[in-house]
Chains A and B, each alone.
Chain A
Amino acid sequence: MNCKKIQNLLLTDYLDGQLEEEKKKSFDNHLSSCFNCREFASVAQNNIMQPFINAEKFIPSDQIWQRIKKAIEEKPEPVRSGFLTSFWNSLKESFLFPRPAYALAGILLIFVVAMSVNRMSLERQQKTIHESEKEIEYITYLAEATLDVSVDQNGGYGTAIEYYFL
């Protein structure tokens, strides 16, 4: 371990006694051979750890409890959780899934919803295409039907009403 890493660890796990025995040994070996790190450890211990040792423990005054007691007695029952909260709590107790399970379920749900939306959109598109084809077919039929009406040599249509008037 280099000095920088040693000093970083020193400010946390080493000073707090959270290092495993093996790591602590290699740490102490480094300190015994490195003056700078040893000095750093000494300054840190004396200035940022020592002041907290034997710090005063404050005792709360009796008045605090008296005030709390008075407030409780004015509203004797602790707030009961609502129906929804109780239901949710019992649901949680029944299905004690770890958080990753919730995350996975969430992802699956989002995936299923996205697929359904996509599918609906595809169906709608196909329907529109189908309707458009039918419309084109109808227009073509109309156009052909119009062309089929024969126009005679005189520019007449050969209908009965024409014979009546002419």
Chain B
Amino acid sequence: MAEHARPATTGRHTRLDAYADRYASRTKGMTASEIRALFAVASRPEVVSLAGGMPSISGLPLDAVAESVADLISTRGVSALQYGSGQGDPVLREQICTVMALEGIVAHPDDVVVTVGSQQGLDLVTRIFCDPGDVVVCEAPSYVGALGVFRAYECDVVHVEMDEHGLVPEALRDTLGAARHAGTRVKLVYSVPTYHNPAGVTLTAARRAEVLEICATHDVLLVEDNPYGLLGFTDGPPRAMRADEDERVVYLGSFSKTFAPGLRVGWVLAPHAVREKLVLAQESATLCPPSFSQAVVSTYLAEHDWRGQVKAFQETYRERRDAMLAALDEHLPPGTRWTRPDGGFYVWLTLPAGLDAKAMLPRAVTARVAYVPGTAFYADGAGRRSMRLSYCHPTPERIDVGVRRLAGVLGAELDLRATFGSSTPAAGRGSSPYEMPEPDSS
């Protein structure tokens, strides 16, 4: 043995975490990541961030909201700052039913549970339905926040193929059939059917009926996550799936995109028995959703032209969507494909063969533009060739600047790949990464 291997003294052994050996197994994936480090740079004003899905809050009538909030505190502060019902404020729940009626949903306030954003709604739904190892079926790609919830509850996520018309029913049928054949019980099908995050596509009406039929055939509960439903750029919001099926659909709604995400107010509309469990779960999680935030939302809905504000948001986001699509059409190299959303916040972009959006991100951040690599939207490591671009927050001018920078990065990356050849790792197991067809303009 080499001499240095004999310690002169015994050193102090430390992991800088006194609890390192005590964490639950579900924390295993909670590690520092290079991607998260890069996003820290994206928060700087020099960087055009096409990464985060932050609503354009500056479009709100903030002065009027401020007056309402001041009046709320002075006239109803005693109740607004007090604990409230675990199910949420009854008046707000009635107003929520009015909001959902715009998407064709007929619901009773008793079946609504107010949550801390719809994110908590999904957490509560998963908590009451899923044991470790239970299967949850998600679109490929799927919302990164949902995948985080399913991971936290140690679910097995199985992705199902999408195309430009949304979830592919035959693929869903095959997946559920295979699970039944294998004796695996699928607990939930999770879907963002309208203005999908991250894919930017919308499930067609015909497919909605088909997906509901498949879920009924296989006796599976569908979770319809619909935060963007009112933010479409065409005539009227698509009819919610929950509007045509009230027993097999749990609906998640949110005021984060139509009003203010900082208030953290969302809701779950669920069948009666499920709702009972959700209220109990909500009480154990938070005692009650925040009374003050609920009061602010309720006051806003009662005193402001919220429908007019939604229309103003639609115009803002339509203008930004147009700016992004125009910039992509103009600047991006051949072989790059992207979706053309009719609403919502996102474009899903697929890179030319051989490129890796995750490996490219450091170069992009150096060039002062940021996006979310596609791998974030898969539970199985797929999506390296894709990225999500958000147009909701930057101005049209900044979007153009950002896309120009992205085009420069893509050019350099293509050059690098031409030099070294493709080194994109194989796609993850179990899913077929959603790659877009040629854009209309190409």
**A, B: real partners:** no
